Amino acid sequence: NHLYSGQFILSSNKKNILILESNCNLVLYSRSKMIWETKTGKNYLQICMLKLQNDGNLVLYSSLNSVEWSIN
């Protein structure tokens, strides 16, 4: 249910990857080309967490536990 800075999810066909970058930007790549991002990246390294909550919301939290981005 969690993805932390620097972690990623790779599709089963290995053509798509969802990365929570070390600057807190969530990015989707398809065949090494960026196709979507949250635009939440900072100019510095930041520990953040992407969480799929029990209510179905997908939320990106900063290290201070503030919501940087969310979708339901």
CATH number of the domain bearing residue 45 = 2.90.10.10
- The amino acid at residue 18 is L
> Which are the contacts of 59, defined by CB distance < 8 A and separation ≥ 6?
50, 51, 53, 67, 69, 70
Residue 17's closest CA among 37, 40, 44, 1? 37
> Which are the contacts of 3, defined by CB distance < 8 A and separation ≥ 6?
9, 18, 20, 49, 50, 51
- The fraction of the chain above a pLDDT of 90, given in percent, is 85
Q: ∠ CA(43), CA(52), CA(10), 5° rounding? A: 70
- The whole-number average pLDDT for the span 22-51 is 93
Q: What confidence score (pLDDT) does residue 9 get?
A: 97
Give the structural domain span for 29. 2-71
**How confident is the model over 9-30, as pLDDT tens digits?**
999 999 999 999 999 999 999 9
